[in-house]
Amino acid sequence: MSQELQADKGWRIWWKLTRPHTLTASFAPVFLGTMIALYYVNIDWLLFLAMLIACLFIQAATNMFNEYYDFVRGLDSEESIGIGGAIVRNGVKPKIVLQLALALYILAAILGIYICSQSSWLLLIVGAVCMLIGYLYTGGPYPIAYTPFGELFSGVVMGMFIVLIATYIQVGSIPNFALFLSIPSTLLVAAIMLSNNIRDIVEDTKGGRKTMAILIGRDSAINVLALFFIVSYVWIILLVILQIITPWALLVLLSAKKPLDAIKLFKAKENHLEVGLAMKNTALTNTIFVFLLGIGLLLGFII
């Protein structure tokens, strides 16, 4: 067993269970949505913090549901890549993982009630739907992750809805500006899921999943991944050309090496152990791109 797959000890067990490398997918869209709101109102930073922590809790809980249900369905083993490994490598009881996930959902719901009290109670419905999708991604009788729609649901919920909600709780409405800027965020979160499915295509096929990567084939899936990257960057360039957003948004181009490296590695390697870096670069693309976009908006506002 490689060093990265060895059993963990102490706090590392629980830290890895949250899959910390995925948590930036929650921070980045909240930050972006808040920077969009900056153009309309003074920011309520307590609301921002509540939204951020609630999204982190939901993301971590979703990862734990994934860990629990993949184990229950017999898909995870000690050699599985990309999992926290709390159950199969570290001996944590599955029931405890499930209880932790539910506890994080409860904490997120409490924060959600505070957010609604300061903005709109209609967000209770939106928040409940997002949490339900997070659970159904790997839970329930027909897990979304086992279908060709994983990229769609994750992209819309994590990439678009979080940006729009983060803007709405500050502004009280959703400007077209926010809708425009949520598009690349949606595509890049979907890209994270697609890269994960490209990496796991062999194991997922054995496990009976019908992901998009499996249905269209590995080469086509890599081309779709590249298209997600290309459209994201071109979209921002077009918005700048059309003077819809500040030229400072072109800071996102500084992140372009990460998606290039991801595509090159996916095309050069097929072993799921060897392409782990390609998935990491995809996740970093989302984080750096969206963060730089938010910084660009901030600079455009203050300069």
Please report, for residues 129, 243, 253, the alpha-carbon distance to residue 34 in angstroms, rounded to integers and kept in the order given: 21, 20, 21
Torsion of CA 181, 182, 185, 187, to 10 degrees: -110
Q: Give me the pLDDT at residue 1, please.
A: 41
Interatomic CA distance for residues 241 and 115, integer angstroms = 36
What is the C-alpha to C-alpha distance for residues 36 and 167, in angstroms, rounded to an integer?
Answer: 6
pLDDT digits (tens, 9 = 90+) for 259-303: 999 999 999 998 877 888 999 899 999 999 999 999 999 999 998
The torsion angle over the Cα atoms of residues 212, 217, 220 and 222, rounded to 10 degrees, is 80
The total number of structural domains in the chain stands at 1
d(CA 193, CA 150): 7
Supply the DSSP symbol for 6: S
Give φ, ψ of 167 to 5 degrees.
-75, -45
**Whole domain around residue 297: which residue ranges?**
3-302
The domain that holds 181 is classified in CATH as: 1.10.600
Note the pLDDT of residue 2.
43
CA dist 287 and 255 (Å) reads 9
Q: pLDDT digit string (tens) for 42-97? A: 999 999 999 999 999 998 898 888 888 888 877 655 555 555 556 766 667 888 88
Q: Residue 276 has what pLDDT?
A: 85
For residues 123 and 115, the answer to whether their CB atoms sit within 8 Å is yes
Report yes or no: 138 and 150 within 8 Å, Cβ to Cβ. no
* Phi, psi of 289, rounded to the nearest 5 degrees: -60, -55
In 3D, which of 139, 176, 127, 151 has the Cα closest to residue 62?
139
The pLDDT, as a whole number, for residue 69 is: 85
Counting Cα atoms < 13 Å in the Cβ hemisphere of 1 gives 13
